[in-house]
Amino acid sequence: MAEQEQWNEPDRVRKAQRRRAGIVSFVAGFVATLAFFAFFPGLPHVIDWGAVLVALLAGALARWSRLSRLSRLSRLTKYGASNKRMNTDS
């Protein structure tokens, strides 16, 4: 039983890292979009429901893109493929 718990430890760590990355990217996208609507010259400096909805969508898009990139990178490293940008010895 202890061997099975130790085997699952990397999976729990990976899931926690993905969850943390998703939260951080969502908040960053949300705040960046609200800041754009609040401070960009030429736009009314009022945060209305439309700006909040767009900010939520931007946060969701940022979260999706970050998690898909993490999935792709983990799949590449899982099967032994190297990332060309990371491989600098050639």
**55 near 35, Cβ under 8 Å?**
no
29: exposed, middle or buried (Cβ count in 10 Å: 0-12, 13-18, 19+): buried
Q: What does the pLDDT profile of the chain (90 residues) look like in tens digits?
A: 555 555 578 788 888 999 999 999 999 999 999 998 888 877 777 778 888 999 999 999 999 999 999 888 887 776 665 555 555 554
Phi/psi-derived region of residue 42, left when phi > 0, alpha when psi is between -120 and 50, beta in every other case: left
Say how many CA atoms lie within 13 Å of 75 toward its Cβ: 6
